[in-house]
């Protein structure tokens, strides 16, 4: 299985594990629960990135990718060989033992070797090359390629591509972590929005309930018709229904947050969902300087890194295919010397030089592979351009949404302020007898709606800022 296939398989497996753990692990929530205050955004992200099993699985992928480099590097490990040849019957009884130490060298597809041979007994004339003096023969030599495999060969290509696969995985892991953090933080601020809305409605409901008591007293004294109280109570009931719906929404988001928020042991944790923190410590605020930095980061986007590294992998394979079209011309040179007693013909230093040449006629396979890889290079070039343009387009779309979200948040704040003023004035008029319950209830409903919209607009601005960081893949960087 290729590194690329392993990467794809791991990504799919990790996402499946993520979904399954969210379903099967519900009963494993640590429920020291509702006493724990809600975490800030930074605490929440730290928990996700340090303890969540999905992130731990990604980290294991880093170790696996690093191991692939070591596996490829092992092709250049030195090794020892030993050969023994002996005639066990017949007229001749020669025995020969050869030990060789070989150290592969990356440059020139070379091997540096040392060898020791020793022989005893009698050899036929055609096996005279096995014979040595009594203490044996020691030699040292080098073998290298002069044409094919000189600049690149299969081992060096695999080593280079293994290093590229490691870098690819790091870029892919960064992209996966950014997407994961985006999902978790989106869930957090959705819970935060509901919690703030509940707090706003609850405060208004307390004020309304105090007014209900006052109206009840007036009805009991005969100063006010009972229908006025009933109409006011109907309005309070609408507020209570809204409050119940918001609590349902808040609790659903809080329950989902327990999947992302983890204890140091990796267990899901819940917290007091009723009380949002006074300061969530928002780390993804955006200003003009941040926009410039995020736009600059688009040039190092992990999706582009993955594609550029894939282009380099194919480029290396193309170089290997070009290498296969070259004639094979290999050189081997060695110096040997026998030591000890024996034939005078074996005394002295021997220098050996050998050349081997071969070239397949036609070589259709190598030509077809080169043509295929050149086409793959062009394909990846088009894909790179497409991905680059897509990233830019998504970021600019997020930028437009952010600018609009800022304007909407400002307008909704003004609208909420006006609604509060109108509601307060209407209460004063009603107490003075210059207004009726219908107008008072309408003002109260508008005040609630305006506050809910104001909170939603402010949280939408947070979501817009989060999206800018997400599109630039700057929510989290691999350490």
β-sheet bridge partners, residue 334? 141, 352
DSSP state of 27: G
User: Which residues, at least 6 apart from 196, have a Cβ–Cβ distance to it below 8 Å?
Assistant: 276, 455, 459
pLDDT at residue 40, as a whole number: 92
Q: What is the pTM of this model?
A: 0.81
pLDDT at residue 445, as a whole number: 87
β-sheet bridge partners, residue 81? 100
Residues in the chain, total: 479
> In whole angstroms, what is the distance from residue 327 CA to residue 99 CA?
31
- 41-51 and 53-73 are packed helices; what angle lies between their axes, rounded to 10 degrees? 50
> In whole angstroms, what is the distance from residue 467 CA to residue 112 CA?
57
> In whole angstroms, what is the distance from residue 198 CA to residue 194 CA?
6
CA angle 257, 261, 262 (to 5 degrees): 145
- pLDDT tens over the chain, length 479 residues: 444 444 444 444 444 344 334 433 333 444 444 578 899 999 999 999 999 999 999 999 989 988 999 999 999 999 999 999 998 888 989 999 999 999 999 899 999 999 999 999 898 988 888 889 999 999 999 999 999 999 999 999 999 999 999 999 999 999 999 999 999 999 999 999 999 999 999 888 888 877 778 778 878 887 777 887 888 888 888 889 999 999 999 999 999 999 999 999 999 998 888 888 889 999 999 998 999 999 999 999 999 999 999 999 999 999 999 999 999 999 999 999 999 988 888 888 999 999 999 988 878 888 999 999 999 999 999 999 999 999 999 999 999 999 999 999 999 999 999 999 998 898 888 778 777 777 888 888 899 999 999 999 999 999 999 999 999 999 986 54
Furthest-apart CA atoms within the chain: distance in Å = 140
Phi then psi for 230, rounded to 5 degrees?
-60, -40
Residue 127 has which token pair? 């096996």
β-sheet bridge partners, residue 354? 332
Residue 98 has which token pair? 């050869």
CA angle 119, 121, 122 (to 5 degrees): 110
> In whole angstroms, what is the distance from residue 97 CA to residue 91 CA?
20
């Amino acid at each position: 299985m290729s590194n690329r296939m392993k990467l794809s398989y791991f990504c799919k497996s990790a996402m499946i594990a993520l979904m399954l753990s969210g379903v099967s692990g519900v009963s494993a929530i640590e429920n020291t629960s509702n006493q724990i205050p809600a975490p800030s955004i930074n605490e929440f992200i730290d928990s996700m990135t340090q303890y969540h099993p999905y992130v731990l699985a990604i980290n294991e992928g880093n170790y696996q990718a690093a191991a692939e480099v070591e596996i490829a590097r092992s092709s250049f490990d030195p090794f020892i060989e030993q050969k023994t040849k002996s005639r066990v019957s017949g007229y001749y009884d020669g025995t020969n033992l050869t030990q060789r130490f070989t150290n592969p060298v990356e440059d020139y597809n070379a091997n540096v070797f040392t060898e020791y041979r020793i022989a005893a007994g009698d050899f036929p004339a055609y096996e005279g090359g096995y014979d040595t003096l009594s203490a044996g023969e020691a030699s040292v030599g080098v073998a290298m390629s002069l044409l094919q495999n000189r600049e690149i060969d299969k081992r060096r290509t695999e080593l280079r591509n293994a290093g590229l696969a490691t870098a690819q995985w790091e870029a892919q892991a960064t992209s996966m972590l950014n997407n994961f953090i985006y999902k978790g933080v989106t869930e957090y601020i959705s819970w935060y929005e509901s919690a703030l809305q509940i707090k706003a409605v609850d405060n208004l409901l307390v004020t309304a309930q105090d007014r209900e008591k006052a109206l009840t007293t007036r009805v009991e004294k005969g100063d006010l018709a009972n229908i006025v109280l009933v109409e006011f109570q109907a309005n309070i009931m609408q507020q209570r229904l809204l409050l119940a719906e918001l609590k349902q929404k808040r609790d659903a988001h809080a329950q989902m947050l327990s999947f992302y928020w983890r204890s140091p042991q990796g267990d899901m944790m819940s917290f007091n969902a009723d009380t949002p923190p006074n300061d969530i410590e928002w780390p993804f605020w955006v200003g003009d300087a941040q926009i410039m930095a995020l736009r600059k980061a688009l040039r190092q986007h992990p999706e582009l890194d993955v594609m550029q590294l894939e282009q380099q992998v194919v480029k290396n394979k193309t170089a290997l295919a070009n290498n296969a079209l070259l004639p094979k011309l290999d050189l081997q040179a060695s110096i040997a010397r026998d030591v000890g007693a024996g034939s005078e013909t074996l005394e002295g230093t021997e220098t050996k030089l050998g050349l081997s040449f071969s070239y397949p006629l036609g070589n259709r396979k190598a030509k077809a592979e080169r043509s295929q890889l050149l086409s793959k290079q062009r394909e990846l070039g088009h894909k790179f351009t497409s991905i680059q343009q897509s990233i830019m387009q998504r970021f600019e779309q997020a930028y437009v949404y952010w600018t609009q979200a800022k304007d909407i948040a400002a307008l909704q704040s003004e609208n909420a302020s006006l609604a509060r003023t109108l509601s307060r004035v209407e209460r004063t008029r009603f107490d003075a007898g210059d207004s009726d319950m219908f107008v008072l209830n309408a003002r109260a409903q508008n005040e609630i709606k305006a506050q809910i919209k104001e909170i939603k607009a402010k949280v939408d601005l947070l979501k817009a800022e989060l999206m800018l960081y997400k599109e630039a893949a700057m929510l989290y960087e691999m350490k």
